[in-house]
């Protein structure tokens, strides 16, 4: 069963509160482009993240606004910033490290929310019925070519407004020689 693959560069989701601290009172995200997941868009806005030292990386803001601010870094990013960033499912930020985010208006010190996102598959309810994928299932996905890899522990997430696609971070994509888009084969364990 074939599945499209996309790599996600480092990015941040923002709460309305943090957005307004970073960009000013009443600020609203401006859409730059729609993403393959109908639920999400890349905003025109970026913010910087400062790690333990003086090193800084720039993060694309991904909309829409969420209840909690969450920063997603690759392990390479985390090592560059001198941060110990745990592998976590998106949304599961309890006890994760914080960081300083820097916007044009102000800095915000978030107390938690920096993660290395667990590789996952987005899937609509209809696609789940068609493919046999179930919400919260762990599957393996094999890629092709000289960089061929089988990724295990891929978390399936089923929601109405999702669209069948596997998300890797840039380290995982690079390891499989996939730069932005690729494809794989789902192996049901």
Q: Does 76 bind a second copy (CB under 8 A)?
A: yes
Q: Which residue has the tokens 């003086």?
A: 54
Tell me the window of 23-31, 62-70, 73-81, 158-166 that interacts with a second copy (CB under 8 A): 73-81
Q: Does 87 bind a second copy (CB under 8 A)?
A: yes
Q: Taking the complex as a whole, how short is the minimal distance between the CB of residue 174 and a second copy, in angstroms?
A: 4
Q: Taking the complex as a whole, how short is the minimal distance between the CB of residue 21 and a second copy, in angstroms?
A: 30
Single residue of 32, 57, 65, 177 touching a second copy by CB under 8 A: 177
# chain residues binding a second copy, by CB under 8 A? 26
Q: Does 118 bind a second copy (CB under 8 A)?
A: yes
Tell me the window of 12-20, 42-50, 121-129, 167-175 that interacts with a second copy (CB under 8 A): 167-175
| Straight-line distance from the first to the last Cα atom of the chain, in angstroms, rounded to the nearest whole number | 13
Q: Between residue 130 and residue 149, which ones bind a second copy under the rule CB under 8 A?
A: 140, 142, 146-149
Q: Which residue has the tokens 């482009």?
A: 33
Distances (CA, A) of 114 to 65, 140, 162, 174: 16, 25, 23, 21
Give dist(CA 16, CA 51) in Å, integer.
23
With H, G, I as helix, E, B as strand and everything else as coil, classify residue 188: coil
Q: Taking the complex as a whole, how short is the minimal distance between the CB of residue 39 and a second copy, in angstroms?
A: 25
Do 121 and 2 form a contact (C-beta atoms < 8 A)? Answer: no
Q: Locate 110 and state its tokens.
A: 């978030």
Give dist(CA 8, CA 143) in Å, integer.
17
Single residue of 34, 58, 106, 153 touching a second copy by CB under 8 A: 153
Nearer to a second copy, 32 or 175 (CB): 175
Q: Does 37 bind a second copy (CB under 8 A)?
A: no
Q: 172-181: buried (b, 16+ CB within 10 Å) or exposed (e) per residue? A: bbeebebeee
Q: Which of 82, 81, 110, 79 minimizes the C-alpha distance to 97? A: 110
Binding site for a second copy (CB under 8 A): 74-76, 79, 87, 118, 140, 142, 146-153, 168-172, 174-177, 179
């Amino acid at each position: 069963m074939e599945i499209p693959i996309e790599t996600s560069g480092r990015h941040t989701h923002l709460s309305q509160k943090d957005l307004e601290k970073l960009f000013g009172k009443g600020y609203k995200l401006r859409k730059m482009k729609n993403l393959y997941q109908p639920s999400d868009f890349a905003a025109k806005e970026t913010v910087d993240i400062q790690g333990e030292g003086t090193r800084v990386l720039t993060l694309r803001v991904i909309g829409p606004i969420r209840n909690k601010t969450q920063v997603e870094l690759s392990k390479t990013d985390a090592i560059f910033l001198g941060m110990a960033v745990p592998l976590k499912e998106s949304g599961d930020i309890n006890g994760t490290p914080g960081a300083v985010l820097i916007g044009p208006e102000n800095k915000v010190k978030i107390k938690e929310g920096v993660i290395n996102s667990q590789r996952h598959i987005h899937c609509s309810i209809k696609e789940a019925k068609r493919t046999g994928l179930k919400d919260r299932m762990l599957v393996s996905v094999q890629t092709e070519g000289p960089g061929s890899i089988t990724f295990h522990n891929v978390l399936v997430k089923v929601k109405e407004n999702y669209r069948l696609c596997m998300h890797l971070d840039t380290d995982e994509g690079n390891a499989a020689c996939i730069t932005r888009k690729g494809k794989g084969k789902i192996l049901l364990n």
